[in-house]
Amino acid sequence: GNSVTQMEGPVTLSEEAFLTINCTYTATGYPSLFWYVQYPGEGLQLLLKATKADDKGSNKGFEATYRKETTSFHLEKGSVQVSDSAVYFCALTDQGGSEKLVFGKGTKLTVNP
């Protein structure tokens, strides 16, 4: 099946720093790609998505571009805030047109004031 490799954490940054969380995938066909965010004590929330090559997903200042040539979907934000502290998960749809998602192991981000 499809798989996701996500940057190991934890990541600690100062407020207003630039953020990159790397995500690469192995897949057959043309999966859709997602970033989810989990705030402490809560479930996962969709942050952004991209459904085809060269698509850029964006939300709340975060961006990620679906790069088929490098099989990557790296998450970036130009200036992080303390409120961005959370765990970030990269995910993709499983093979064969399934509705199932395959998740990376998550990257914990802490932003200090």
Partner 1 sequence: NAGVTQTPKFQVLKTGQSMTLQCAQDMNHNSMYWYRQDPGMGLRLIYYSASEGTTDKGEVPNGYNVSRLNKREFSLRLESAAPSQTSVYFCASSALTGEKQPQHFGDGTRLSIL
Q: Which is nearer to partner 1, 73 or 89 (CB)?
A: 89
Distances (CA, A) of 30 to 21, 42, 69, 72, 75: 22, 30, 12, 13, 19
CA distance 16 to 51: 29
Least Å distance between CB 103 and partner 1? 4
- Side chain identity at 36, as an amino acid letter? Y
CA distance 50 to 57: 5
Least Å distance between CB 90 and partner 1? 9
Q: Which is nearer to partner 1, 35 or 84 (CB)?
A: 35
Q: Residue written as tokens 């991209």?
A: 50
Least Å distance between CB 21 and partner 1? 14
Q: Which is nearer to partner 1, 42 or 69 (CB)?
A: 42
Q: Which is nearer to partner 1, 97 or 113 (CB)?
A: 97
Give the footprint of partner 1 on this chain (CB under 8 A): 6, 32, 34, 41-46, 49, 51, 89, 93, 99-101, 103-106
Q: Which residue, 65, 111, 104, is CA-closest to 84?
A: 111
